[in-house]
């Protein structure tokens, strides 16, 4: 466990040295200092397990989104912020969306540890299970990690999502492979990669990348709005 946390800190320090940007419109519930130490603390507290950064390879995943400077990213199913805090290093604005108010409150507390030049780019939003409640044509990138399987009426959700997306917007989905794994949600709850592709295509998206090799436990799907 100690070794895993040391590795995690090493990866986080490398990550934090690679980028920066600029502004908390945190809502609901509100909150600077040495940016590196506070950010590492926030990242660690947002991790589900100390070794998640190793098996989920967040840098590899975020690299697929390309240059996010000035872009608005909606992190749907953000939880306590594992990817949200990383996205903030690259994007112009990040909207952290979840239906779990407790998780969002925790994220708000963690955001208070960040330098305001970073936290001011964050908006925390509690949404409905059927609707992320974003602004019309306001989002450049939708990011979903460990979330897609929990959406009800997924095709309807994807179609409704399009009204919030700008022209040429992208959506990136990361979720668990539907096979025996050492951990993760029950296999019957998972959605297989082929189904995700089919549902995206039927909802008006074009598949750009479909990858079930780069991550040991998860697949990655990147799509554009048609």
* More confident call, 85 vs 22: 85
pLDDT digits (tens, 9 = 90+) for 10-26: 334 333 333 333 333 33
Q: Name the one residue in this structure whose structure tokens are 């100390």.
A: 50
Count of domains observed in the chain: 1
Does residue 115 lie in a domain region? yes
pLDDT at position 130 over 90? yes
Does residue 84 lie in a domain region? yes
Containing structural domain, residue 49? 2-173
pTM over 0.75: yes
Does residue 211 lie in a domain region? no
Percent pLDDT > 90 in the chain is 73
Does residue 85 lie in a domain region? yes
Does residue 70 lie in a domain region? yes
pLDDT digits (tens, 9 = 90+) for 162-177: 999 999 999 999 999 9
SS3 category, 116: helix
Does residue 8 lie in a domain region? yes
Neighbour tally for 9: CB within 10 Å? 15
Does residue 178 lie in a domain region? no
Structure confidence at residue 35 (pLDDT):
30
Band of pLDDT at residue 187, cut at 50, 70 and 90: very high
Does residue 98 lie in a domain region? yes
> For residue 44, what is the domain's CATH number?
3.40.50.150
Element (H, E) at 75: strand 72-76
């Amino acid at each position: 466990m100690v070794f895993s946390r040391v590795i995690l800190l090493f990866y986080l320090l490398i990550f934090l040295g690679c980028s920066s940007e600029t502004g908390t419109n945190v809502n609901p519930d509100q909150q600077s200092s040495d940016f590196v130490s506070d950010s590492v603390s926030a990242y660690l507290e947002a991790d589900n397990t100390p070794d998640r950064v190793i098996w989920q390879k967040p840098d590899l995943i975020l690299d697929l989104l390309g240059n996010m400077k000035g872009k608005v990213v909606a992190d749907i199913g953000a939880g306590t912020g594992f990817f949200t805090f990383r996205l903030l290093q690259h994007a112009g604005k990040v909207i952290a969306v979840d239906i779990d108010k407790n998780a969002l409150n925790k994220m708000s507390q963690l955001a208070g540890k960040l330098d305001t030049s970073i936290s001011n780019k964050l908006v925390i939003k509690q949404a409905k299970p059927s609707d992320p409640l974003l602004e019309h044509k306001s989002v450049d990138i939708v990011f979903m990690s460990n979330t897609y399987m929990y959406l009800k009426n997924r095709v309807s959700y994807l179609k409704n999502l399009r009204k919030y997306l700008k022209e040429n917007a992208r959506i990136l989905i990361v979720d668990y492979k539907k096979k025996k794994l050492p951990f993760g949600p029950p296999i019957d709850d998972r959605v297989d990669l082929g189904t995700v592709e089919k549902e995206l295509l039927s909802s008006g998206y074009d598949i750009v990348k479909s990858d079930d090799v780069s991550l040991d436990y998860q697949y990655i799907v990147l799509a554009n709005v048609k």
